[in-house]
Amino acid sequence: MERIKLSADEIAAKFKIRCSAILEICGGEVGLTDVQSARLSELSARDSGQGKPLTENMKGELAKLIYKRDNPELPEGAKTYCKKWLKEFLYNRRAEVKSKYLDKGNQCEEDGFTLMCLELNLGMVYKNTEYFENENICGTPDLFVKGIVYDNKCSYSLDSFPMFEKENTKPEYEWQLNGYAELLKTNDAVLAFTLIDAPDDIIAREVKWLIEPNDVYRKLCDLIYTKDNFLKAVAEYCPDADLNTFIEIPQEDRIVHYSFKKDINKINKINERVPMCREYIKSLLTN
């Protein structure tokens, strides 16, 4: 099979941003930052006769700021994402991202949904498998229940679980949920972090190189949160451990959720950046 043969315009038009990658193109500033805008105003005023005359260095600085204002460019992070997308599109490949964190998330997804149903009173729900897209955005949200879009993030360990965070500290997830909310034409979204016992293969991998039974015991404490599963793991992996420190984490403490209203400013920014990405992709093919 040969490389995709379409015109630059046709290829660029195919670009839509996946909800999970929205921050990749929306991070950073286009045009002048607030500091640069203030500096431009200051230099422009002096150039027009208000205050001391500009030095030669200041004249050069003013010219650069005016050019940047009048010729806004994508931030480098967005350009990098566009290059990655274009390579994948042209040669029909998509990089497979692998990590132990994604592995656990995939394996424990259903248990995470069950915990959400019980603690968030969702009733009987099933994972959404429908793919949605509009002119600029695409994605497959986890759940859509009674006009609210839900996304579950299964924390890898107790250490990474945001048990006491009052506000979401992961901006990429808020951007993702705004994308889903826009696709589903709703104003309400919920981000949930769930803490689920690690499956056997992950436990085996994590304790594989630990020698001391008590070290294994401590590792199990970070990966397993229910008593029955913990006792089974101890019996299998560290029966000689002499520690007795395990405390079961109750179900209600193993979920943290944050509610969001769709942010129209974020949606507007997405709708501004995607066309800019298309223009940049076109430039990569024609320059």
CA distance 95 to 18: 14
* CA geometry: angle 29, 77, 105, nearest 5 deg: 115
pLDDT at 51: 85
Structural tokens at position 103: 């592995």
Q: pLDDT tens digit string along 151-185?
A: 999 999 999 999 999 999 999 999 999 999 999 99
Amino acid at 114: T
Q: pLDDT tens digit string along 74-123?
A: 999 999 999 999 999 998 887 777 788 889 999 999 999 999 999 999 98
Residue 58, φ and ψ in degrees, nearest 5: -65, -35
Please give the span between the terminal C-alpha atoms of the chain, in angstroms, as a whole number. 25
Coil vs helix vs strand at 34: helix
Q: How many helices (H) and strands (E) does the chain have?
A: 12, 7
- Looking at the DSSP bridge assignments, the partners of residue 23 are none
Record the pTM. 0.86
**How many other CB atoms are there within 10 angstroms of residue 217's CB atom?**
23
